[in-house]
Amino acid sequence: MAADGGIPAQPLPVAARAPGKCIVFGEHAVVHGAPALVMAIDLETQLFARAAPATSLNSDAEAVRENPYFREGLARAWPDGPPLAVRAVSRIPRGAGLGSSAAFSAALVAALGAVTGGIARRDLAQRAFEVERAAQGVGSPTDTAASVAGGCVALNGGDGPPLWSVRTDERAWEVRRVPDPGWVWVVAHSGIRRATGDQVRAVGRRLASADGAALLERFRTVAREGIAAVVREDRAAVAARMRENQALLTEVGVSHPRLEALLAAAAPAAEAAKITGAGGGGSIVVLPIPGREVDLTRRLARAGGLPFVVRPAPHGAGLIESGVRP
Ligand code: MEV
C-alpha cells in the first residue's frame, strides 16, 4: 500500500464506510471531459463483510447476479475469493443523485482491498470508478472520486494539489483537491428515482447534436468560473454560476416538474439552487442564505422534498476500526 492515506491490510471480518456526494458544478458535461466540482457529504454508507458459506448482500444471495454494483465489485476486487456475507446500510437515499452507488462501490472496494493486503487510495479511486462504470455502462469518475477523496474535489479543473488521475481506455480525468470554504449546504431529494445511465445517454445525444459543442463550451466556462469562485470564497459569484449551470441543465433536458417545484420553494431562503447529479428526478443542491437553513428545509419539505442539511465530509472511504458493525 502506498503512503497516500490508503486502506491498510486487515483480515476478515472487515467494516468500511464511504460518503455520498453532491455535485455543485459540471454534472453531465464532466462525462465529456469538462470540469466539475463535487463534495463528499456527511451522509454515508457503511458495509460489513465476513466469511460465510455462501455469498450474499443483506442476506440476499440473488444480489450476486441482480445487483450490478455488487456483482462488478466482487468481479474486480474479489475474483475467486471465498464466499462472503456482506451487509450494507446507508443514509444516502438511493437513485437520488447523492452518490449512493458510488459510496457502495467505494466502501465495497475499500473493504475487499483491506482483506487482500491493503489498497492505495489512487487504486481505490480507479477501481471504485470501474465498478460503477461497469454497472452503469457510462459515466465519469466524479462521484467515486468524491467518495474516495472526501472533502471538495475538482475534476479537470482547479489549480489545487493533484490527487490522482482516473482513466478509461478513451479518456482521463485529473482529480485535484479544492479547499472547503466551510459553508453549509442543503440538498433535497424529489422522491423521484431515476437511472443515471439513461440520463447520461440522453444528454450525450443532445451534446452530439449541431449546437452540442457550443453548449459543452458553456458548461466548461460555468464550471471553471464556479470552481474559481469557490476557491476565493465568493458566495455571490458561486450563486451566479449555480444559476447559470441550472439554466444549462434545463436546456439539456434533465429537469423535471418536481425539481422545478423544489427550486421555486427554495428561492426565498436561497442564494442559489440547482439540480445536482443526473437529474430527471433525484435531488437539488441549495446554497442557503446564512441563518435561513431551517426555514429552507421547512419550505423544501412542504414542497414534497426530503431535505438534508449537509457539510463536506472531510474523510473519504475508509475502514471502521472501532468494532462498529452495521
Ligand atoms: C451523476 O452523479 C453525475 C453525472 O455527471 C454522471 C457521471 O458523471 O458519471 C450525470
Say what the pLDDT of residue 2 is.
42
Q: Indicate where the chain has its CATH 3.30.230.10 domain(s).
A: 14-180
In terms of residues, how long is the chain? 326
| Closest approach atom of ligand 1 to CA 97 | 2
Say what the pLDDT of residue 1 is.
47
Nearest residue (by CA) to ligand 1, atom 10, is: 278
- Cα(314) to centroid(ligand 1), Å: 21
* Nine-digit cell string for 289: 442564505
Q: Which CATH number fits domain 14-180: 3.40.50.261, 3.30.230.10, 1.10.10.10, 3.90.79.10?
A: 3.30.230.10
- Cα(210) to centroid(ligand 1), Å: 23
Ligand 1 interacting residues, C-beta cut-off 6 A: 23, 27-28, 30-31, 97, 139-140, 142-143, 196, 200, 277-278
Say what the pLDDT of residue 325 is.
53
- Cα(144) to centroid(ligand 1), Å: 10
* Nine-digit cell string for 178: 479544492
What pLDDT digit, counting tens, does each position of 165-181 carry?
999 999 999 999 999 99
Residue 293: what residue type? E
Burial of 214 (0-12, 13-18, 19+ CB in 10 A): exposed
| Closest approach atom of ligand 1 to CA 27 | 5
Say what the pLDDT of residue 324 is.
47
What pLDDT digit, counting tens, does each position of 196-249 carry?
999 999 999 999 999 999 999 999 999 999 999 999 999 999 999 999 999 999
Strand partners, 270: 288
The residue with cell 464532466 is 30
Distances (CA, A) of 203 to 120, 144, 212, 256: 34, 20, 10, 14
CA dist 73 and 211 (Å) reads 38
| Closest approach atom of ligand 1 to CA 21 | 2
Q: Indicate where the chain has its CATH 3.30.70.890 domain(s).
A: 185-310
- Cα(13) to centroid(ligand 1), Å: 32
pLDDT below 50 — which residues of the chain? 1-3, 324
Say what the pLDDT of residue 322 is.
63
- Cα(22) to centroid(ligand 1), Å: 10
Say what the pLDDT of residue 3 is.
46
- Cα(113) to centroid(ligand 1), Å: 25
Q: To test the ligand 1 pocket, which listed residue (25, 30, 206, 207) has its Cβ within 8 A of the most ligand atoms?
A: 30
Q: Which helix (H) or strand (E) holds 300?
A: helix 293-302
- Cα(139) to centroid(ligand 1), Å: 6
- Cα(77) to centroid(ligand 1), Å: 23
Rounded to two decimals, what is the model's pTM?
A: 0.96
| Closest approach atom of ligand 1 to CA 138 | 9
Fold (CATH) for 185-310? Alpha-Beta Plaits (3.30.70)
Q: Is the dihedral of CA 104, 109, 112, 118 positive or negative?
A: negative
Q: Which helix (H) or strand (E) holds 68?
A: helix 68-77
Nearest residue (by CA) to ligand 1, atom 2, is: 277
- Cα(278) to centroid(ligand 1), Å: 5
Q: To test the ligand 1 pocket, which listed residue (98, 105, 142, 255) has its Cβ within 8 A of the most ligand atoms?
A: 142
Say what the pLDDT of residue 4 is.
61
